[in-house]
Structure 1
Amino acid sequence: MNILFTSSGRRNYLLSYFKKEIGSEGKIVAADMDRSAVSLAIADVAYLVPCVYDDGYIDRILEICKSEDVKIVISLNDLELPILSANKGAFEKNGISLIVSDKEVIDLCFDKVATNVFASRFGCNTPKTYTTIKDVKEALNDGTLSFPLIIKPRWGSGSISMEIVENTNELDLAYRLLDSKLNRTSLSEISVTDRKEALLIQEVLMGDEYGLDIINDLNGSYQTTIVKKKLKMRAGETDKAQVVDRPDLMELGEVIAHELKHIGNLDCDVFDVDGKLFLLEMNPRFGGGYPFSHEAGANLPKAILEWVKGNEIDVNKLLMSLEERRFGKCDQMVELLK
C-alpha cells in the first residue's frame, strides 16, 4: 500500500512511522516544491512539484498517484489542506484515500475568528481577540484589555509573522510592519479572503500550555484524545513535552471531536489559566506535537492503515499513550537530494 506525503518538508519522523508500519507491503512517496526538503531524502521515491497555488498542482499530484500506484495521500502543510479538500472527489474517483477533512472543517480551523465562534457554541473559553487597531485601543482605554498582546495572522501557520507587544507604541509599529510583510509570506494567498482584517490582536494567555491530539476515524467518529503538557517551544513547534492524565482536557477533546467531525488527527492548543481552559488553535492534520504521542505508545499511522483497509481497531491498544513519559526533539543530519 503506497503512501504519498505532500508538502512533506522536514517531517522525517512521520514518514518513518508509516514506513515501519507498511514494511515490504508498500513504499513511501514524498512530494515537495523545495529540493532541499529533508523528507525527500528518506522517502523511497521523491518528487519535486509546483507551488500548491499553481493551477496545475492537483493534476500533478494525481499524476504521481497514478504513476506510483498510491492508495493514501497525507498532506503535512496547512496551506495545502483547503486545496486538497476541495478536490477530494478527484482522488476518490481514482480509488485514493485522501486523509483530509471536509473543506468546511478546514476553513473553520484555519480562520482563527471562526475558531472562536465555533468554541463559543459549546461554551469553551478563547482569548480576547480583535481584528482592528481601533477596537484594541478602545478596549485598552476602558480596561477590557491590557498588555502584553500578540499580533499574528488571522489565517496563520506555525509562528510566521507573529509579534508580542508591551505598549501602544510597539503595537502601532508591529501592526504596520506585519501588515506590510504579510504580502511577502506564504500566507499572502489565503489572507486575501479579508485583507482588511487579516491580522489579529489577542491577549497573551499566562498559564500552562497543552497540546491535544484529538483523534477521529475516517468517518469522523471520535476515538480518543491524547494530552501533552508542553515543556518547551521552538520556532512555533513543540520541542519538549510530556504525556499527562487530564480528564478535563480529554473531555474537551471529545466535545470538539463530536462538534467538528474532522478526519484523522486534530492538533489543538489549549491553555490552562488558573484552572480555566482556553482553546487557542485547531489544526486538522498531523501536528508537530504528534511524535510525543507516538513515542509514548500511540500508533495513529497503523490505525489509519487499518481504517483504509476497512478494519476496526482496538483503541485502547493502538491509540493509548503512556502517561508521565517525557520526550524532546533533536536534530539529525540527512544528505539532501542532488
Structure 2
Amino acid sequence: MNVLVTSISKKIPMLKSIKIALNKFEPTGRLFGGDIDQQVVGKYFVDEFWEMPQLPNLRIDDLLHYCKTNNIGAIIPTRDGELEYFSKNKGDLKKNGISVMVSDLDAILTTLDKLTFYKSGSLIGFPVIETALSVNDLDAYSIVIKERFGAGARNILLNKTREVAKLEAKQLNDPIFQPFIEGKEYSVDLYISKQSKVIGSIVRRRQVVQHGESQVTFTVPNNALEKMCSNFVTDLGLFGHIVLQVIIDHQNQFNIVECNCRFGGASTLSLSAGMDSFYWFLLEASGKELSEITFTPNKEGMKLIRYPEDLLII
C-alpha cells in the first residue's frame, strides 16, 4: 500500500515522520506527495510528486483513477482548506479501498466555523471561548477579532479595545469577536480511532508562536487538560490526529481556542514523545483495530525548536 499526502508545501518534518511510519508498516510502500505548486520543496522529500489540480477542479473520478493507478490505499490531507473536500468524498474513496485521515463532514464543518464551534462546544458543556458576531454581545473590554472561517491565525487582531475592534473588524471578510484572555498557550495532540477512542494524547506548552504556529514548544504533564480534551474530541465525533489549542488563564481555568482536524506544524514533538499517529492510521487503513495498542508516553520533558535547514543534492 502506498500513501498520498496532499498540500505538502514545505512540511518536511511531517513528511519524514510519515515515511518512518510507512516503512514501519510496509517497507516496500511508497510515499506520494501532492501540491498545486510544482515548485514546492516538499517534492524532494517524497518518492513521487503529483502536481495536483486545485480541488474545485479535481473530480472524484480523477482522484480515484490516480490512486488506483499508483496503488494508493491511504490519503493524509494536511491543510484546513481541503478537509471539507476529502470528508465529502471519503465514502466513495473507502468503497474503492482508500482510507482518508479525516473526520466526518459534520464535525469538520463544526470546527471550521468558529461561531458554530463555540455554540456546539458550549452546548455539550465544554469551556470554548465565547464567540459573537458583534462586539456589543461580549462583556469584555479587551477584544480579539478573527475571521469566522478557516485558520485561526489568519488576519487575527489581538487585545483591542471595543471601539478599536469595531473599526478594525472592517478589514476582515467575516469577522467574529472573542474576549482577550491572558494566560499560557497550550497545544494538545490527540489520536482518535475509528471506534471513537483516544489512543494517545500529549500536552505541549507553546513557548514561541509565530503566525499561529509553535516555533518553540515543549511537553508538559497535565492529566486534567488531557482528560478534558479527550472527552471533548470524542463528543464532537472526530477521527485521526487532532490538535486543540487551549489557554490556561490566571485562574487556572481552561479556555478552548480552536480545533485543527489535521496534523499540526509542531506535532512532530508529540510523535517523538510516544504518539504514533501515522502508524496507527495506517493500521486502521489496513483494516486492523487499535484495541491492543498500548500508549506509553515519554515521561521526561522534551522540547522542539523549529528552524530552516538546507538540503544538498549532488
User: TM-score scaled by structure 2?
Assistant: 0.91
Which amino acid letter does the alignment assign opposite residue 11 of structure 2? R
Alignment correspondent of 2:22? 22
Alignment correspondent of 1:245? 221
User: Quick one: structure 1 residues 168 and 282, their matched pair in 2 at CA, closer, same or farther if it must change by over 3 Å?
Assistant: closer
1:223 is aligned to 2:199: yes
User: Quick one: structure 1 residues 261 and 321, their matched pair in 2 at CA, closer, same or farther if it must change by over 3 Å?
Assistant: farther
User: TM-score scaled by structure 1?
Assistant: 0.85
Alignment correspondent of 2:39? 36
How far did 1:19 drift?
Answer: 1.1
Structure 2 unaligned regions, length at least 5: none
Q: Secondary structure at the match of 2:255?
A: strand
How far did 1:283 drift?
Answer: 1.3
- Structure 1 residues 131-280: aligned runs within 5 Å: 131-132=133-134, 136-137=135-136, 139=138, 144-147=139-142, 149-164=143-158, 166-168=160-162, 170-179=164-173, 198-273=174-249, 274-280=251-257
Q: Secondary structure at the match of 2:13?
A: helix
Distance in 2 separating the partners of 1:92 and 1:234: 37
Distance in 2 separating the partners of 1:174 and 1:202: 14
Distance in 2 separating the partners of 1:122 and 1:304: 28
List, as ranges, runs of 4+ consecutive aligned residues in structure 1 with deviation greater than 6 Å.
none
How far did 1:119 drift?
Answer: 1.8
Q: Secondary structure at the match of 2:85?
A: helix
Alignment correspondent of 2:261? 284
How far did 1:323 drift?
Answer: 3.8
User: Quick one: structure 1 residues 246 and 165, their matched pair in 2 at CA, closer, same or farther if it must change by over 3 Å?
Assistant: closer
Alignment RMSD (CA, Å):
2.1
1:297 and 1:322 in contact (8 A); partners too = no
Which amino acid letter does the alignment assign opposite residue 60 of structure 1? D
Q: Which digits, 9 at most, give the CA deviation of each residue in 1:179-199, with x for residues without a partner?
A: 3xxxxxxxxxxxxxxxxxx21
How far did 1:268 drift?
Answer: 0.4
User: Quick one: structure 1 residues 61 and 8, their matched pair in 2 at CA, closer, same or farther if it must change by over 3 Å?
Assistant: farther
Distance in 1 separating the partners of 2:294 and 2:91: 33
How far did 1:165 drift?
Answer: 5.2
1:293 and 1:321 in contact (8 A); partners too = no
Q: Percent identity?
A: 24
User: Quick one: structure 1 residues 312 and 138, their matched pair in 2 at CA, closer, same or farther if it must change by over 3 Å?
Assistant: closer
**Matched positions, count:** 308
Distance in 2 separating the partners of 1:158 and 1:32: 22
- Structure 1 residues 11-90: aligned runs within 5 Å: 11-23=11-23, 24-54=27-57, 56-90=58-92
